[in-house]
Amino acid sequence: MTRLHLAVALDGAGWHPAAWRARDARPADLLSAAYWADLVSEAERGLLDFVTFEDALGLQSASIDAPDDRTDQVRGRLDAVLLAARLAPLTSRIGLVPTTNVTYTEPFHIASGIASLDHASRGRAGWRPQISVRAADAAHFGRRTIPVLNLDDVRDGRTTEFIGGLFRELFGEAADAVEVVRRLWDSWEDDAEIRDVATGRFVDRDKLHYVDFEGRHFSVRGPSMTPRPPQGQPLVTALAHATVPYEFAARGADVVFVTPHSRAGTATILAEVRAAETTVRREGTPLRTFADLVVFLDDAPGEAAERKARLDDLDGALLASDAEIFTGTPGELADLLLDWRDAGLDGFRLRPGALPHDLTAITTGLVPELRRRDAFRTGYEADTLRGLLGLPRPANRYTTSATP
């Protein structure tokens, strides 16, 4: 049987807005390194492939496009890349995948940050590039003007043409950013560092390369300030919901996170992902596909649904999500994962509804259940994140074979 890959998406006190008010939550610790170290260590004990860290350029908000005045939900978070770097020496095998915004962050800075994370973790870094369409984010930087979008406009279709054009523009910029980052990761050959005290040569300058990227959005010369990462190319991931982001993922990512709501929906989305690969003429390894699920897990039947209902009452609204929301037992979730896996998925990225409760339920309930079905690993098989996912270490695009 083909074994599943499992990741968890960590965000604050969990993906439910009222999770910080749960009985076993740790709201006083959300901005402490110890809190995140406990979560990631638990995920590693469960032998999960990787964890992802959310990030944004503004405060969390219940509004689609602007800050809100709510004080009953978590507001504020740590920088995802810096957080992952802090956790790197505290872990040994699990992958660390922070999110960064590419709409307002220079790719040169991203390239060095993720490369540094890969060095600090000895080959366990990944990256999720993210765009921003929020006017409030644009106001922080003054680089572009984006009108405020409101939910009524979106529902009534009054901004459909604008939103479509903006999305295409921002995803085009994001694709250029990913290409720049990947070139910068290759701008040092693997053996560029000589470190020869006798001759006084630390680097071989002939093995550092200008990337000379000229595009519509960026002009970057290079080389990077950071030597080539241990993985050569750290894992690039993307969350995608429609054709334009599917094509973005197909151009530059290794893994795509998708959001089906049924097995039939899974098959439909995977067909769209493969069509996107054809459209952009993707070469090499096909995209690894992970489905996102928000999960509430308890051992007793009905208990998870009751717990979610209590959190909904505290928040004053039913939880809404782009991903399917699952409430049930570990065995029931295992049934669902294996059923959807047979539609062609490589794995799942689970979003714990409340932390630490649902993360622990994944590692101590779901993982053993999947092992009983011979559907999940019993030990880490590789030392790098690419290795865990069965992805080869890419050759450096700038290395030329020596002439005999």
Residue with tokens 């993982």: 367
Q: Which tokens hold the place of 211?
A: 């990337």
149 touches 65 (CB < 8 A) = yes
Q: What is the secondary structure of 204-231 as a DSSP string?
A: -GGGB----EE-SS-EE----SSPPPTT
d(CA 117, CA 108): 14
Neighbour-count burial for 341-353, b at 16+ CB within 10 Å, e otherwise: bebebbbbbbbbb
Single-letter amino acid, residue 153: D
Which residues have C-beta within 8 Å of that of residue 214, sequence separation ≥ 6? none
99 assigned binding-site residue: yes
Distances (CA, A) of 101 to 84, 133, 162: 15, 11, 21
Q: Which residues pair with 325 in a beta bridge?
A: 294
Residue with tokens 């429609």: 242
Q: By C-alpha distance, which of 348, 398, 391, 367 is closest to 124?
A: 391
Element (H, E) at 354: none
Distances (CA, A) of 13 to 8, 26, 63, 242, 355: 13, 7, 19, 28, 5
Single-letter amino acid, residue 193: E
d(CA 85, CA 77): 15
Going by DSSP bridges, is the β-strand pair 213-214/219-220 parallel, antiparallel, or unpaired? antiparallel
191 assigned binding-site residue: no
d(CA 149, CA 165): 14
- How far is C-alpha 258 from the chain's CA centre? 11
Q: Which residues pair with 6 in a beta bridge?
A: 348
At residue 386, φ and ψ (nearest 5 deg) are: -60, -40
Residues in the annotated binding site for FMN: 55, 99
Residues in the annotated binding site: 55, 99
